[in-house]
Amino acid sequence: MKYIFPMAAVIALVLIAWIGSKIPGMQYLFGVVVPYAAIATFVIGFCYRVVQWAKSPVPFRIPTTCGQGYTLPWIKYDKLEAPVNTSQVVARMFLEIVLFRSLWRNTKAEIHDGPKLTYESSKWLWLFGILFHYSFLTIVLRHLRLFLDPVPGFVLAVEFMDSILQIGAPTMYLTDVTIVLGLLLLFGRRLVNRQVKYISLANDYFPLFLIFGIAVSGILMRFYIRTDVDIISIKRLAVGLATFQPAILTDISSIFYIHLFLVSTLLAYFPYSKLMHMGGVFLSPTRNLPNNSRMVRHINPWNPDIRPHSYAGYEDEFREFMVENDIPVEKGLPENSGE
Amino acid sequence: MGAVKVVKVDKLAKSVVQGPSLMTGSYPTKDWMDVPAVFKPGNFAYPAKKEKVEYMNAQQGLSFPNAREWWPEDDDWKLPENWKEIILNGLRERLDKFRSLKIFMDCCVRCGACADKCHFFLGTGDPKNMPVLRAELLRSVYRNDFTLAGKLLGKMAGGREMTVGVLKEWFMYAYQCTECRRCSVFCPYGIDTAEVTIMLRELLHTVGVGINWILEPASNSNRTGNHMGLQPHTFKDNVSFLCDDIENLTGIRVEPTFNRKGAEILFITPSADVFAEPGLYTAMGYLLLFHHIGLDYTWSTYASEGGNFGLFTNNETMKKLNAKMYAEAKRLGVKFIIGGECGHMWRVLHQYMDTMNGPADFLEVPKSPITGTVFDNARSTKMIHVSEFTADLIKNNKLNIDKSRNDHVVATWHDSCNTARGMGLLEEPRYILDNVVNNWYEMPENCIREKTFCCGSGTGLNTDEIMELRMRGGLPRANAVKYVHEKHGVNTLGCVCAIDRATLTSLVNYWVPQVRVCGLSELVGNSLVMEGEQRQELEDGLRTIL
């Protein structure tokens, strides 16, 4: 039941924006002050976190090899899963970040009478993850049209592709459907899969609900609650925000302020949450290092001064036995135990 | 401290399937944070003996404070008064020293991809054996004391205060993880629970909590050069006995040397190989192989341990124990080092040694004196795996092999965790197997190569008092062995790991008693046609009793 509080929190956020934006004079707070504060929090927080990570050294080169390593020339090695140079590492990271390669490997284990264990390929998590992340990315790119004048070609292209089915008026975006679907599936997984249910924290439900709120408020605004949703004045506000000349010239519907407030919350929350996996995935030492530890020495900046129990000390302790058993020694048995 | 009775196999076979657990379909009634760790005979490894802790603490560069008599079942673990401060400061220090730790604390989204990848979870169904929860044991404390969200929201943000109860839980679950890294293969961020377990164990040592089965071998290794505590003459004797056995079997007298200056190559293998079956046969395989090709090499009694229980303790101990290898190579003036068959040993050699104790500028890039092959893959560390060396010999037709000498063997291949996921040594053993054994079969694909299952007793957990845990943890491996045993009549489980040779033997004895365990070099040794041999029909290879 750890989702109750996060759900309540998102509902509270909606109510705050809804009621707040209706109070005369508060539009500036919700339309300008909060978004600026959120963006600042996001940018500063994100950078801070990345810098914090980067400040810790990588003392050891510890890639997880998921294939044959580079050894003898006649043995084919796995350039992607046991990379030995930078370009191969980049390729491995690219597949990890863009195609979620590790999740593609996922299996589901079951235990049956016998006992008999089985491991079946299970790509659901991969699918839900891809569905959600790419929908989100597309939507973010589409929204650039609000901030940029003229609208760049690639934004138009994304928008065109996203509305290619030409259903409804205004045209329905594919990603409107897929992001909601992705979120519902990811949430459903946390309820249905026993293991995932047990490990889920409030921190895992909150971003799901928050993004769900953003998506739904956006969809409502586009298709259903269109009173006072004037795209021209919204774009003017957005461009104003982007050019640091913000102005709210006309009344804009509360649904817009709800949407904007939830987005602001997401931005501000991002650096302090697990959502930082977006940055962290680039820095994971088991993925972003080459498997060349025996070829190129890796330097540990804090390598401690630790010496082995010395051979001399060893020989001193066991010299007699060594001599007796014809094991070569450095010093030989002393006539008088000097030193 | 009487022997803990091991549950009967039928009973355990039922329990793993029907016992109520997260693995078998039931759902815990309590949140994991509300379930305390309860110690009872059989679920914990015995604490490190006071004198071992004292000895380790007295070594240059090492710190093992709070040596004392204590017992996990007792309420009072006799922790230092400021234990909490020590732990939190220790965590802070490690966050600043290991980026891996910071990233792994921050990035997990609890997607659960790792959950059913852990052999301990599969065998016990204990939720805290899901890698994600194992990490959460530490992460919850990290969140509480080191993150803004945790400081503001506490439990709501998944934070948890560090208490004695939490510490006890750490002890329980840091020693139900074998650092096998299987979970990290499946994690979308590569989160490696081995890193988390290593940190947990390091932190526990800072307040004097450790297990004897690790610290005693580590202290032995420091003093006598090997985990088994074999003194130089005993070590030499043990190898000599193997030479006697070889002579009886083949008529060949092998004359290995010890601590010999001027040898071309230093050979280091886990001391278990000269100490107990079935490792002994692996060692006989090395001896035969090196004799067969006339290798100019020496053993060392000072660096007589390939394994490194420091890896299971803390990075300082790992460095200290490992440092003997280069020190000895330098003293003896060899050109390079060949390492025997061992899993975690090779994790240390491949991923840590050069960083910790290099540069090995007094050695030469390994070049096989027999084939002339230069091992470019080890050009900096200057140490090669015996399987790399052997594969190259076979490829260059330098071995006189009679495969039929292994016809009593129907083998399968166990990729050891560390060589598979910490090195990528997958094809060399298979190539060697193809060339020395007529009959061998792979286990199912989700259980081999980078997805291989741990023996369930690695990282110093192969101690008898936790036998049931070990049999549970090893179940996934044993189950795959059973599968190929039933399907193909497999009777031999090959591996390149000394811990495996010991632990898989217990494991298959329990779950698949028709199968036995051997090192790869034993199979090589079986198949070699030695010059001048007077060999009788060895029906059981090097294991034949005449």
- Is residue B122 located within the same domain as residue B259? no
CB pairs < 8 Å spanning A and B:
338
Residue of A nearest to B326 (CA): A308
Question: Nearest Cα to B378, choosing from A61, A85, A293?
Answer: A293
pLDDT at A281: 94
Is position B2 within any domain? Answer: no
Helix, strand, or coil here: B256?
A: coil
Helix, strand, or coil here: A116?
A: strand
Match 């900096």 to its residue by tokens: B380
pLDDT in tens, B394-446: 999 999 999 999 999 999 999 999 999 999 999 999 999 999 999 999 999 99
Q: Which stretch of DSSP H or E encloses residue B5?
A: none
- Is residue B205 located within the same domain as residue B136? yes
Residue of B nearest to A310 (CA): B324
- Is residue B229 located within the same domain as residue B159? no
Identify the DSSP state of A222: I
Q: Select from B61, B352, B476 the Cβ nearest to the Cβ of A305.
A: B61
The verdict on a CB contact (< 8 Å) between B320 and A308 is yes
Q: How many domains does chain B have?
A: 2
pLDDT in tens, B131-164: 999 999 999 999 999 998 889 888 888 999 999 9
Preferred mutation among B418, B450, B454, B485 to probe A, highest tally of A CBs within 10 A: B450
- Is residue B392 located within the same domain as residue B355? yes
What is the Cα–Cα distance from B476 to B454, expressed in whole angstroms? 8
- The answer to whether B465 and B457 are in contact (CB under 8 A) is no
Q: State the pLDDT confidence band at A252, using cuts at 50, 70 and 90.
A: confident
Q: What is the pTM of this model?
A: 0.95
**Does the pLDDT value for residue A336 go beyond 90?**
no
Question: Nearest Cα to B289, choosing from B516, B543, B520, B498?
Answer: B520
Preferred mutation among A199, A205, A326 to probe B, highest tally of B CBs within 10 A: A199
pLDDT in tens, A254-296: 999 999 999 999 999 999 999 999 999 999 999 999 999 999 9
- The answer to whether B465 and B6 are in contact (CB under 8 A) is no
Interface of B with A in 484-513 (CB under 8 A): none
Length in residues, chain B = 546
pLDDT at B154: 86
Residue of B nearest to A105 (CA): B186
Give the residue from B210, B240, B263 where a domain finishes.
B210
- Is residue B136 located within the same domain as residue B233? no
- Residues 6 or more apart whose CB falls under 8 angstroms from that of B489 comprise B410
Q: What would the two tokens of residue B351 be?
A: 């991923």
Omega of the bond leading into A152 within 30 degrees of 0 (cis): no
**Does the pLDDT value for residue A339 go beyond 50?**
no
Between B475-488 and B498-511, two packed helices, what is the crossing angle to 10 degrees?
70
**Does the pLDDT value for residue A311 go beyond 70?**
yes
Contacts of A304 in chain B (CB under 8 A): 61, 316, 319
Contacts of A100 in chain B (CB under 8 A): 188
Helix, strand, or coil here: B261?
A: coil
- The answer to whether A215 and A180 are in contact (CB under 8 A) is yes
| A332 CB-contact burial (10 Å; exposed 0-12 / middle 13-18 / buried 19+) | exposed
- Is residue B444 located within the same domain as residue B422? yes
Is position B520 within any domain? Answer: yes
Contacts of A201 in chain B (CB under 8 A): 110, 157-158
Helix, strand, or coil here: B143?
A: helix
- The answer to whether B197 and B213 are in contact (CB under 8 A) is no
The verdict on a CB contact (< 8 Å) between B110 and A274 is yes
Q: What would the two tokens of residue B266 be?
A: 């230093």
- The answer to whether B279 and B504 are in contact (CB under 8 A) is no
Is position B104 within any domain? Answer: yes
Domain ranges of chain A: 4-283, 310-339
Nearest-5° angle of CA B524, CA B530, CA B536? 90
CB contact A95 to B (< 8 Å): no
What is the Cα–Cα distance from A188 to A128, expressed in whole angstroms? 11
Q: Rounded to a whole number, what is the distance in Å from the CA of B62 to chain A's nearest CA?
A: 8
Report how far apart, in Å, the C-alpha atoms of B285 and of each of B141, B207, B367, B518, B541 are: 49, 43, 21, 11, 10
Interior/surface letters B348-385, b for 16+ CB within 10 angstroms, e for the rest: bbbbbbbbbbbebeebeebbbebbebebebbebbbbbb
What is the Cα–Cα distance from B415 to B179, expressed in whole angstroms? 15
Residue-averaged pLDDT of chain A? 93
CB contact A1 to B (< 8 Å): no
pLDDT at A267: 98
Length in residues, chain A = 339
Domain range for B441 is 217-543
- Is residue B233 located within the same domain as residue B193? no
The verdict on a CB contact (< 8 Å) between B112 and A321 is no
The verdict on a CB contact (< 8 Å) between B450 and A65 is yes
- The answer to whether A91 and A83 are in contact (CB under 8 A) is yes
Q: State the pLDDT confidence band at A12, using cuts at 50, 70 and 90.
A: very high
**Does the pLDDT value for residue B504 go beyond 80?**
yes
B3: alpha, beta or left? (left if phi > 0; alpha if psi -120 to 50): beta
pLDDT at A110: 95
- Is residue B226 located within the same domain as residue B206? no
- Residues 6 or more apart whose CB falls under 8 angstroms from that of B163 comprise none
- Is residue B306 located within the same domain as residue B423? yes
Interface of B with A in 222-241 (CB under 8 A): 222-225, 231-233, 236-237
- Is residue B391 located within the same domain as residue B496? yes
pLDDT at A323: 96
The verdict on a CB contact (< 8 Å) between B261 and A59 is no
| CB-side neighbour CA atoms (13 Å) of A144 | 16
What is the Cα–Cα distance from B432 to B289, expressed in whole angstroms? 13
Give the residue from B210, B239, B257 where a domain finishes.
B210
Cα dihedral B103, B105, B111, B115 sign: positive
Q: State the pLDDT confidence band at B4, using cuts at 50, 70 and 90.
A: low
Q: Rounded to a whole number, what is the distance in Å from the CA of B161 to chain A's nearest CA?
A: 16
For residue A335, which phi and psi values (nearest 5 degrees)?
-70, -50
Is position B432 within any domain? Answer: yes
CB contact A81 to B (< 8 Å): yes
DSSP string of A156-212? Answer: HHHHHHHTTT--TTTTPPHHHHHHHHHHHHHHHHHHHSHHHHHH--HHHHHHHHHHH
Is position B9 within any domain? Answer: no
Q: State the pLDDT confidence band at B3, using cuts at 50, 70 and 90.
A: low
Is position B395 within any domain? Answer: yes
What is the Cα–Cα distance from B123 to B118, expressed in whole angstroms? 9
Between B232-250 and A311-324, two packed helices, what is the crossing angle to 10 degrees?
50
Look at strands A116-121 and A107-112 and give their pairing: antiparallel
Give the residue from B195, B210, B225 where a domain finishes.
B210
- Is residue B180 located within the same domain as residue B280? no
Give the rounded distance of the alpha carbon of A211 from its chain centre: 15
CB contact A109 to B (< 8 Å): yes
Q: Which stretch of DSSP H or E encloses residue A249?
A: none
Q: What is the average per-residue pLDDT within B303-309?
A: 97
| B444 CB-contact burial (10 Å; exposed 0-12 / middle 13-18 / buried 19+) | middle
Q: Select from A54, A199, A308 the Cβ nearest to the Cβ of B327.
A: A308
What is the Cα–Cα distance from A296 to B359, expressed in whole angstroms? 10
Give the rounded distance of the alpha carbon of B263 from its chain centre: 29
- Is residue B290 located within the same domain as residue B426? yes
Q: What would the two tokens of residue A329 be?
A: 């020694």
- The answer to whether B529 and B291 are in contact (CB under 8 A) is no
pLDDT in tens, A180-216: 999 999 999 999 999 999 999 999 999 999 999 999 9
CATH placement of domain A4-283? 1.20.950.20
Residue-averaged pLDDT of chain B? 96
Q: Cite the beta strand spans of B386-491 per DSSP E.
A: 411-413, 440-441
Q: What percent of chain A has pLDDT above 70?
A: 99
Q: Rounded to a whole number, what is the distance in Å from the CA of A39 to chain B's nearest CA?
A: 18
Say how many C-beta atoms besides its own lie within 10 A of residue A37's C-beta.
Answer: 14
Q: State the pLDDT confidence band at A227, using cuts at 50, 70 and 90.
A: confident
Q: Select from A108, A113, A329 the Cβ nearest to the Cβ of B17.
A: A113
Q: What would the two tokens of residue A149 be?
A: 């004048």
Give the rounded distance of the alpha carbon of B387 from its chain centre: 17
Prediction ipTM score: 0.94
What is the Cα–Cα distance from B133 to B140, expressed in whole angstroms? 10
Between B386-395 and B520-527, two packed helices, what is the crossing angle to 10 degrees?
30
Is position B279 within any domain? Answer: yes
Question: Nearest Cα to B432, choosing from B365, B526, B504?
Answer: B526
The verdict on a CB contact (< 8 Å) between B355 and A195 is no
